[in-house]
Amino acid sequence: MAPTDRRYTKEHEWARLDGQTVTIGITDFAQQQLGDVVYVELPKIGDTLTAMRPFGVVESVKAASDLFSPIGGEVIEVNAALDGAPELVNQDPYDQGWIIKARPSDPAEIDTLLTAEQYDTLTEGEQQH
Amino acid sequence: MTATATRPLVETPPLPAERLIFELGAPGRRGPALPASGVPEEPLEDLIPAKFLRREPLPLPEVSERDVVGHYTRLSRLNFSIDAGMYPLGSCTMKFNPKVNDQLAALPGFAAIHPLQPEETVQGALALLYGLQQCLLAISGMDACSLQPAAGAHGELTGMLLIRAYHRARGDARRTVVLVPASAHGTNPATAHMCGYTVREVPTNERGGVDLAALEASLGDDVAGLMLTNPSTYGLFEPDVARINQLVHAAGGQVYGDGANLNAILGITRPGDMGFDVMHFNTHKTFSTPHGGGGPGAGPVAAKGHLAPFLPVPLVAKRDGCFFLDHDRPQSIGHVRAFWGSFGILVRAYAYIRAHGPEGLREVSEDAVLAANYLRVRLRDAYPSRYDVGCMHETLHQATRWRDAGLGALDVAKRLLDYGFHAPTIYFPLGVPEALLIEPTETESVETLDRFVDAMLAIDREARETPQLLHDAPVTTPYRRFDEVAAARRPNVTYPSCVIG
Amino acid sequence: MPYSPHTEADRRRMLDAIGIASLDQLFSIIDPSLRRFAFDVPPMLPELDLQRHLGKLAAKNLDATTHPIFLGAGSYFHYIPAAVPALASRGEFSTSYTPYQPEVSQGTLQAMYEFQSMVCALMGLDVANASVYDGATALAEATTMARNITGRDSIAVPTTLHPHYRSVLDAYGVPLITLDVNLRERPSLDPGVVAGKLTDDVAALVVPSPNVLGVLEDWSALAEVAHQRGALLIAAANPVALGILAGPGACGADIAVAEGQPLGIPPAFGGPALGLMATRTRHLRHLPGRIVGAALDAAGRPGYVLTLRAREQDIRRERAASNICTNQSLIALQAAIYMSLLGKEGLPDIARVCAQRAHYAARRIAALPRYGVGADPFFHEFVVRCPIPAEEVARRVLNKGMVSGLPLGRWYPELERSLLVCVTEVHTREDIDDLVAALGDVG
């Protein structure tokens, strides 16, 4: 079940607020759907983020998926480890496989996202298709 | 009838790997002898200033002609090819490539001529291109034709650029959207995007046909046009095609026809009559030009009169019994490649059409559709057919009966290689789980079709009784399944000693 | 029908299996109104007559095996070793499909990996794709790369870029800044002048060298200027010239493109052609088209696969940078065979012969009264200033059985008296002397 220390989008990203910083990645459900990740196209530090607009792409051998930003803000760090080891997204999507860190324009915005419980309900529904 | 494989169905020891050309040869080894200049020479640095001259190494191979011939001959043996066997690839029309076409394209009068020669010195080439234009117009029911695009996707881009130019010339800047059916080939939305359009997907029904109600709802004065494939990517003829095109026209849009599936309708019906405004051809599908391992193809474009002014320049034209390149086309979108077209490929397409004539072309489509339906009825028990009506030149099935064993279309494709057949198209069209799109074409004999069916039925039995065979497949081919994930994660696309930087 | 194996008995068998009575029923779903039309394709020709018909069309063309043709301008006559067509015409290469099933396509895949590597060797860059349609479309794709990499929009191009290449950029809707070059006096780019024209919005500077008039450009100096302005340098090269000229990589180019036809492909009236693209490792994922990479199979054997495919149209759909889904595979194979046969020593040797013969021709023409040849550095193509309009010169020389060159007035009105002459290793000293004599007679 999805970790309860963070929030979720319906596009299968997670966002966790740590002090002034929001860390963003994709969920275990998403990485399973994608298959083996071969590359993550990362934004540049300083890029502006808009809620629910694409900020990067995650590629598997057979698919390319947009990454949608859960919140508005500014990119302050990207996970450079993904360059040499994109498989981190598959192996450890909630920790070592983080994708970017952002400074949110509005720290309260994260509370508008799905809770872990709501996200679990969403993925159970999708799995039945 | 039990299936027999072309080889025993046991794992065979691997062939020795062929080394890279860079690993053959030795320093100083040379190919064919080259001429000396034969003219009074000057030191190169006197002719060309030193700053332009190469100082860095040129790490090309150092091999003899014998080495080169051995290397490429051995490499060729690792390839499957139409010459050797059947490719039931849906949407690719892998028909036999007539040998006479290669012979004719190699004639010095076709190969050793320069595109910029005075037109009076290339009347034979221009006559051939003009003749091909006329044939394509007769086949498509269109009014004007450009032979310039270098591939199907290139022809598609050209077609959409025509539509963009047309609306611009009308002064209509509002039309920023192109409609693309959900079942469309991936080049369609990519092409629309390249032309600066926003793509709006139109839902298709369970037969891959356009949902008329959804189409009507999508149309508006922001729609530049619709991209449509008929027969569709499901291998079915769109019975409402004329109505669809009328609806788009009534809303002020244009209809682009993807000609990938033309092999079903040669001499049967014509895209122009269905109401398409512009279409492209794939000479390497419908007109037998060889696939060459991925290219070159050619993608001529034909259009109705109202789009003709925008066609790429020049067109091949005729005046007073002479052929010429007509550059005087002020509204043309310009060139989509340098010069006039992939002439060496167009020679083959022309020869193919001339070898058939009208009855011959009609028979091509009749036999192609006949063969596809023959496979459809014989395969549909083991491989559920996506629909219960007759198909056109290709038939759509699904490999969904052994999901519990974790097997699907990919495994069928790999196991077919062990039976000496290339795989059909898999996982296309999108939205059809474990899709197998099968197109036999008109050039495979009934015996071959029967052996293909036998192989498919044997694979179905294996999937149910001995699934490991499919998981491991292929085992009799020169190589086994590759780890494509690792290849994409840490790409090695250049031999290291060729990188001098 | 010449290539279908089906007899009436075969058709009957299939119709019975399907459960219909006639072929016509296969098309019953098509509205009858769409079935009625006059099918105006000429009657069929059996193979013998087909050979005769096309043989006659071919014989109507004046070709380079019987007459000297001194034309270049983007398509070139070169010696093609016999082993090139002999190997490339093997059915295993020519009639195979795109290598989507690598287990049965290692011939094509390994050949393409080798081709990519040879293109890198030639260009002095790190990575190359398995080719695109031609040099002009390669340039268009390179401009898209530059715009995506820099996030900027405009591309700076000189007027000495081949007009067809320029036309393709216009057709593709690339925003262009034109760099005017004095075509009559010194038809090459001045780095100082270019620097002033590169605004903050310029993604790349395109520099063909040799340019359309055959003149060599200074890639190194122009790369510096571009980089100072935050723009990339796209170098458009001639691949045979790279046998003796410094390559784009060594000169600081970020992306290199070329028309690969000179590498063992006949001119064939302009196509099929071969677009070469190469770049630095850091831009690999922006490179469009097919790319072949090394991989291991399940038995641990090294081989090759199509890779980095998530960039391509069938996966990215409308997010793809390009709609390209083919390469010129068989043509790339011919070029790879050619580069292998000529090799490390042979390609420079051929380039030297071209340069020596062309400069000999230029010297002799320059010595003719009332003719002039510019002093700008060139490889194998140069501009001849004629005493009368070049179209007339060309017409008179044609009457003597030679095609003397390209009258430039059709592309550049101010060059009405200029003829673009190209000399390669296929033109003998005798051919050149005949050309000089014919030009002398006209003047």
**Domain residue ranges in chain B:** 21-76, 101-355
pLDDT tens-digit series, residues C241-259: 999 999 999 999 999 999 9
- Give pLDDT, residue C314: 52
Q: Quick check: B121 and C74 CB within 8 A? A: no
Distances C154 to C51, C198, C205 between C-alpha atoms, Å: 50, 9, 9
A48 has which bridge partners? A74
A contact test, residue of C100, C285, C315 with most A CBs within 10 A: C315
Mean pLDDT value across residues B299-321: 97
Mean of pLDDT over chain A: 92
Residue A60 banded pLDDT, cuts 50, 70, 90:
confident
Average pLDDT, chain C: 95
Beta carbons of A59 and B485 less than 8 Å apart: no
Q: Which residues of C touch B41 (CB under 8 A)?
A: 356, 360
**Domains delineated in chain C:** 83-339 (3.40.640.10), 343-442 (3.90.1150.10)
C127 CB contacts (<8 Å, ≥6 apart)? B493, B494, C116, C120, C278, C279, C280, C281, C283, C284, C287, C291
**Beta-bridge mates of residue A100:** A24, A78
Contact flag C95-B97 (C-beta cutoff 8 Å): yes
Set out the domains of chain A in order of their start, with CATH numbers: 21-104 (2.40.50.100)
Residues B353-380 have pLDDT tens digits of 999 999 999 999 999 999 999 999 999 9
Cβ burial, residue A27 (10 Å; 0-12/13-18/19+): buried
Where does the pLDDT of residue C309 fall: very low under 50, low under 70, confident under 90, or very high at 90 and above? confident
CA B390 – CA C64 distance, rounded (Å)? 53
Strands (E) in B330-478, as ranges, are 395-398, 425-426, 435-438
Instruction: Tell if the CB–CB gap between C310 and A41 is shorter than 8 Å.
Output: no
Q: What is the pTM of this model?
A: 0.95
Terminal Cα distance for chain B, rounded = 61
pLDDT at A43 over 80: yes
Least confident of B71-75, B186-190, C187-191, C312-316: C312-316
Give Cα C245 distance to the centre of its chain.
19
B489, closest residue in chain A (CA to CA): A38
Task: Check CB contact of C293 with chain A, cutoff 8 Å.
Answer: no
Measured in angstroms, the CA of C315 and the nearest CA of chain A are apart by: 6
pLDDT-derived band of residue B10, with 50, 70 and 90 as boundaries? low
Residues B35-54 have a mean pLDDT of 97
- Please identify among residues 263-292 of chain C the ones whose CB lies closer than 8 Å to any CB of chain A: 285
- Nearest chain A residue to B490, by CA: A84
Residue B6: band (very low, low, confident or very high) from pLDDT cuts 50, 70, 90: very low
In chain C, residues with a C-beta closer than 8 Å to the C-beta of B98 are 2-3
- Of B186, B484, B501, which has the smallest distance from its Cβ to C124's Cβ? B501
Give the residue among B191, B209, B100 at the shortest CA–CA distance from B153: B191
**pLDDT recorded at residue A65:** 86
Nearest to C377 among B49, B94, B102 (CB): B49
Q: B489, A59: Cβ pair inside 8 Å?
A: no
pLDDT at position A127 over 70: no
In chain C, pLDDT over 70 holds for what percent of residues? Answer: 96
Q: Name which of C43, C57, C116 is nearest B127 (Cβ-Cβ).
A: C57
Q: Which chains touch B (3 or more CB pairs under 8 A)?
A: A, C
How far apart CA B206 and CA C70 sit, in angstroms, is 60
Report the chain A residue with the minimal C-alpha distance to residue B484: A61
Instruction: Decide if C294 touches A, using CB distance below 8 A.
Output: no
Contacts of A65 in chain C (CB under 8 A): none
Place of tokens 């519990």: B404
Contact check, Cβ <8 Å, A63/C315: yes
Over residues C149-181, the pLDDT tens digits come to 998 999 999 999 999 999 999 999 999 999 999
Per residue in C6-48, pLDDT tens? Answer: 999 999 999 999 999 999 999 999 999 999 999 999 999 999 9
Q: Report which of residues C438 and B2 the model is more confident about.
A: C438
Chain C partners of A61 at a C-beta cutoff of 8 Å? 309-310
Task: Say if B483 is an interface residue toward chain A (CB within 8 Å).
Answer: no
Confidence of residue B443 (pLDDT cuts 50, 70, 90): very high
Q: How far is A125 from chain C (nearest CA, A)?
A: 25
* CB–CB contact C319 A62 (8 Å): no
Interface of A with C (CB under 8 A): 38-39, 41, 57, 59-64, 66
- Helix/strand/coil (H/E/C) assignment for every residue in B256-320: EEEHHHHHHCCCCCCHHHHCCCEEECCCCCCCCCCCCCCCCCCCCEEECCCCHHHCCCCEEEEEC
Place A129 in a pLDDT band, splitting at 50, 70 and 90. Answer: very low
Q: How many CB atoms lie within 10 A of CB B333?
A: 23
Instruction: Please answer whether residues B399 and B383 qualify as being in contact, where contact means their C-beta atoms are separated by less than 8 angstroms.
Output: yes
Q: Rounded to a whole number, what is the distance in Å from the CA of B428 to chain A's nearest CA?
A: 12
Candidates C4, C74, C428; nearest CB to B363: C4
Residue among C277, C157, C281 nearest C217 (CA): C157
Residue of chain C minimizing CA distance to B156: C323
Can you tell me which residue has the tokens 């039990």?
B2
CB C158 within 8 A of CB C189: yes
**CA closest to C90 among chain B residues:** B76
Give me the pLDDT at residue A124, please: 87
Contacts of C363 (CB under 8 A, 6+ apart): none
Q: In this predicted structure, what is the pLDDT of residue B5? A: 46
Question: Sorting pLDDT into bands at 50, 70 and 90, what band is B2?
Answer: very low
Mutate to test the interface with C, among A53, A60, A61 (most CBs of C within 10 A): A61
Distance of residue B489 Cα from the nearest chain A Cα, in angstroms: 5
Query: In chain A, how long is the greatest CA-to-CA distance?
Result: 40
Residues B72-98: what's their mean pLDDT?
A: 96
Minimum Cα–Cα distance from C291: chain B residue: B493
Rounded to a whole number, what is the distance in Å from the CA of B190 to chain A's nearest CA?
14
Distance CA B60, CA C293 (A): 19
Nearest chain C residue to A34 by CA distance is C310
CATH 3.30.470.30 corresponds to the domain B101-355: no
ipTM (interface predicted TM): 0.97
- Cβ contacts (< 8 Å) between B141 and chain C: which residues? 37
Helix, strand or coil for residue B361? helix
- Between chains, do A62 and C310 touch, taking CB under 8 Å as contact? yes
- Measured in angstroms, the CA of A77 and the nearest CA of chain C are apart by 20
